[in-house]
């Protein structure tokens, strides 16, 4: 079987890497997993063009070799970990800005561009890309689409599908196909196959280029935090603002515990965690933008409604700015950031379900109870609002997990499964931004039932040999899934 690597070398030369120290780096991501659960690929490819990817998949198809594509490897559930070895395609070398069309407010880029690189390309033209995750400095647009990631500004602009116009895909048959509607914002022509690729986790093909719609940069942006006695009250408040006609750029409902994670810089500066009143169970971060007069009016109106509903504006700006730096600007101070500082002993681990708006408080209690049941250290819950101009939750139910302790990692996976199923039982979904990965393979039918049979047929159309990111969404027929507790 090693002959396929020789063919890769003949076709791609120095873009093929097989040294142990190079392969090892691709065997894990940010998900909690022990050192024994790191799965390096057999060979790493660093393509520069779509044709490079096509050649790789053509050879993989010939030999039936697994192909896993990835970007910044910032996923938290193992979605791009090559659990069956084979070929890993590192898309980060495909990071060319192909076109900025200012008149039509679109941008065409290779799939390895990070979200920050796209922002930087648009900014001189007074434009920006509205879907920006917390990991924008390392998250690539290809990965963003493959995982259907969250955004800081989802309440106004939605998720990546709302910005995605068109994409180029190398299918599991080594065919290069463009799906979408070019530079039009919508279309009723053909099937909406482009939408199918969003959240597909690389199981249908490798995304190599995309066209996105951009938006004008607002004159000003403001970020504030409001304390509420419950999460339900925070949700009711947002509904009041929407009913009044306010455009809210972003809204994030943090529990008390989660705020401490996002205000790590505050603790570094002041020597203690922010003081939050005992009665406050929810902390709503709310973002507005626009012309200064409109912005000032929106804020004045919003704060008056908050006061009427028992909310209290956080006046200590250090708390707000600490959250904003951690969530969005990511200004770096060595050894003082929340990620490296808090990851020295235990690793960030999260479950990402979604529940109907009326059951948020109930689900929060279930999250706490489930974590305590499995004796896990609770970091807290953040409810991201990710549906344009309405209430739609993407939840981060986070814990600290000792990834050096197999028993604790296993308990985390039991928690992950149990909480995922609780969300489905409440009329929700198991995943809102991580994807199914191999973690949810054993119980995918719990949410989708007979529809899973149709999912399998769709995969066969794009990937008849089942070689594209095998073990994710479905058990691989070429071998059992490994890692992730399966």
CATH of domain 94-216: 3.30.465.10
DSSP 385: E
Q: Going by CATH, does the domain composed of 3-92 fall within 3.30.43.10?
A: yes
Among 53, 45, 50, residue whose Cα is nearest residue 15: 45
- The Cα–Cα gap between 267 and 457 comes to 52
Task: Give residue 420's pLDDT.
Answer: 98
pLDDT digits (tens, 9 = 90+) for 301-311: 999 999 999 99
Task: Give residue 338's pLDDT.
Answer: 57
DSSP 3-state assignment of 409? helix
Structural domain boundaries of the chain? 3-92, 94-216, 220-340, 343-437
* pLDDT beneath 50: ranges in the chain: 334-335, 340, 480-486
Task: Give residue 343's pLDDT.
Answer: 58
Q: What are phi and psi of 418, to 5 degrees?
A: -65, -45
Q: What are phi and psi of 376, to 5 degrees?
A: -115, 150
- DSSP per residue over 211-254, as a string? EEE-EEPPSEEEEEEEEES-HHHHHHHHHHHHHHT---SEEEEE
Ranges of H-type helices in 72-114: none
Contact 23, 82 (CB under 8 A): no
Where is 67: in which H helix or E strand? strand 67-70
Q: How many Cβ atoms are within 10 Å of 277's Cβ, its own excluded?
A: 10
- The Cα–Cα gap between 429 and 423 comes to 6
Domain 343-437, CATH among 3.30.1390.20, 3.40.630.30, 3.40.50.620, 3.30.300.330:
3.30.300.330
Q: How many Cβ atoms are within 10 Å of 344's Cβ, its own excluded?
A: 8
CATH of domain 220-340: 3.30.70.3450
Task: Give residue 339's pLDDT.
Answer: 52
Task: Give residue 341's pLDDT.
Answer: 56
Among 80, 94, 93, 104, residue whose Cα is nearest residue 26: 80
Contact 481, 438 (CB under 8 A): yes
- The Cα–Cα gap between 198 and 184 comes to 18
- The Cα–Cα gap between 201 and 221 comes to 33
Q: Is 481 exposed, middle or buried (0-12, 13-18, 19+ CB in 10 A)?
A: buried
* CA quadruple 29, 31, 33, 35: dihedral, nearest 10: 30
Among 396, 380, 262, residue whose Cα is nearest residue 326: 262
Task: Give residue 266's pLDDT.
Answer: 79
pLDDT digits (tens, 9 = 90+) for 150-186: 999 999 999 999 999 999 999 999 999 999 998 999 9
* CA quadruple 152, 157, 162, 165: dihedral, nearest 10: -100
| CA 195, 201, 205, 209 torsion-angle sign | positive
């Amino acid at each position: 079987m090693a002959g396929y690597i020789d063919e890769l070398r003949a076709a791609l030369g120095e873009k093929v890497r097989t040294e142990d120290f190079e392969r090892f780096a691709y065997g894990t991501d940010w998900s909690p997993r022990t050192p024994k659960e790191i799965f390096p690929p057999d060979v790493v490819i660093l393509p520069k063009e779509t044709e490079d990817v096509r050649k790789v998949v053509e050879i993989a198809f010939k030999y039936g070799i697994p192909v896993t594509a990835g970007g910044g490897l910032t996923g938290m559930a193992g979605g791009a970990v090559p659990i069956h070895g084979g070929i890993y395609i590192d898309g980060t070398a495909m990071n060319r800005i192909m076109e900025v069309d200012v008149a039509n407010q679109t941008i065409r880029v290779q799939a390895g561009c990070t979200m920050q690189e796209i922002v930087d390309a648009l900014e001189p033209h007074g434009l920006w890309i509205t879907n920006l995750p917390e990991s924008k400095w390392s998250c690539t647009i290809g990965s963003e689409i493959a995982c259907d990631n969250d955004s800081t500004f989802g309440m106004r602009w939605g998720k990546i599908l709302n910005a995605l116009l068109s994409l180029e895909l190398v299918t599991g048959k080594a065919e290069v196909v463009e799906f979408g509607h070019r530079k039009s914002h919508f279309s009723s022509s053909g099937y909406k196959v482009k939408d199918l690729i969003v959240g597909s986790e690389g199981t249908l093909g490798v995304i190599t280029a995309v066209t996105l719609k951009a938006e004008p940069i607002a004159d000003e942006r403001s970020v504030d935090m409001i304390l509420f006695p419950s999460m339900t009250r925070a949700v009711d408040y947002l509904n009041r603002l929407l009913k009044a006609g306010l455009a809210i750029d972003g809204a994030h409902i943090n529990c008390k515990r989660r705020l401490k994670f996002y205000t790590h810089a505050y603790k570094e500066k002041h020597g203690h965690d922010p003081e939050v009143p005992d009665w406050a169970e929810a902390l709503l971060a709310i973002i507005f933008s626009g012309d200064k007069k409109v912005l000032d009016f929106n804020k004045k109106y919003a704060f008056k409604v908050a006061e009427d509903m028992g909310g209290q504006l956080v006046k200590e700006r250090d708390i707000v700015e600490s959250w904003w730096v951690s969530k969005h600007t990511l200004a770096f101070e060595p050894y003082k950031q929340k990620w490296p500082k808090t990851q020295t002993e235990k690793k960030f681990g999260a479950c990402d379900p979604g529940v109907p708006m009326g059951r948020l408080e109930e689900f929060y209690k279930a999250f706490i109870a489930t974590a305590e049941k499995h004796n896990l250290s609770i970091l807290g819950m953040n409810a991201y609002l990710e549906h344009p101009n309405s209430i739609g939750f993407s939840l981060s139910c986070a814990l600290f997990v000792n990834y050096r302790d197999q028993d604790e990692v296993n308990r985390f996976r039991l928690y992950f499964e149990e909480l995922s199923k609780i969300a489905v039982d409440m009329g929700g979904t198991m995943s809102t931004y991580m994807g199914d990965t191999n973690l949810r393979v054993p119980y995918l039918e719990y949410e989708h039932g007979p529809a899973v049979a149709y999912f399998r047929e769709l995969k066969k159309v794009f990937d008849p040999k089942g070689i594209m990111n095998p073990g994710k969404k479905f058990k691989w027929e070429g071998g059992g899934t490994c890692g992730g507790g399966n």
